[in-house]
Structure 1
Amino acid sequence: MSWILKNWYLVLVIAAILLWLLIDPSIEEQNDAADQMMENNPELLEEEKTVPTEYKIDIKGEIENPGVYQVTENDRVEDAIQLAGGFNSKADKQMINLAERVYDEMVIHVPAKGENAEGTHQMKDMGSDDQKVKVNLASIEEMQTIPGIGEVKANAIMEYRETYGRFEKIEDLTKVSGIGEKTVEKLKEYVRIP
């Protein structure tokens, strides 16, 4: 008690600072203004969430302008080919899945009519393994085709993806409840992150 009496001015200063911090209306007004702005303009929040990821892809073969192009995560192979000027007259359009979603570092090879199919498949395999499930794009049913992934884990993956966004690498699957490092090691031969 004697310390408080001797240092009453210090106690008074500390009390004044605490009181000022608790009562300062300008901080509360700033928070209220920010909250009100977000409530009145929910599209501001949505814009941040909906900015598509940009990818670089390599388009080769029988198209008008082969080369490296920048596309977004929502684009399909058909969009990419149109960006490159479309097919040329030698292109075998039946060998290309135009509905496939593009992914970063994808290689699209458009073969010529009559081109050796073996060469086409080799080129295709260099860019992707079509047998693997694309975790960022797969439905719950598609995920359940992966050995070791049942309905519960498929739902957990989908929920994580909807909450936190796309997986950047396969190891990110360990962030999903119920999936550990050993499970991820087993999944590597069945899944890919486009």
Structure 2
Amino acid sequence: MINLLQLFIQKYKKKLLLPVVVIGIILFISIQSFLKSATPQADSIPTIPLKENLTVEETIEYVEDPIVFVEVKGAVMKPGVYELSEGDRVLKAIEMAGGYIESSNSKHINHAERVKDEMVIYIPKEGEEVEESPLATNGSSQSSLVNINNADATVLTTLPGIGVAKAEAIIAHREQSGAFKDKQDLTKVTGIGQKTFEKLEPLITVK
């Protein structure tokens, strides 16, 4: 049997060569295709685009309170002009001026009032007559008027242009000539001219 097979192959080997090669190629391709289909493939993972991280910088503005200048006059330890922040209270201005002297009269002072630029805080003494509120602001209807008929030298020197000498001259004039009947009479005092009087007129009274 084997001999017959060998004789058959030898006789027809040239004719069988081509079909065998073709069949071999077909089998090889089939096996490769089978192996590829059998190999598990990882699912493609879609690419998720990264969102840009937007960094928002928060800008914190530190706004300082506006500066105001307030003048504290009268019965305080250290009369003068003081620098405060807008919104501060009258109490702070008085504390900066050293507080009250013993003879001060603070019952009409609103310590909780907020200060304003160019504000004048006048603290009267006991027994001193002061018209309206002792607090005044520039151009405000509230005013602190100094009564030149009964104010002492300390109070008079809080007026603009009035030093110790002129304050004593005012007191001497009213002691010699009597009380001032009109504010204009202040020009009769030695050393007080019309220009000085014009500065003093809105700040004084004779009542």
TM exceeding 0.5:
no
Higher helix fraction (1 or 2):
1
Larger gyration radius, structure 1 or structure 2: 2
- Normalised by the length of structure 1, the TM-score is 0.41
- Normalised by the length of structure 2, the TM-score is 0.39
Structure showing greater relative contact order (alpha-carbon pairs closer than 8 Å, 6 or more residues apart): 1
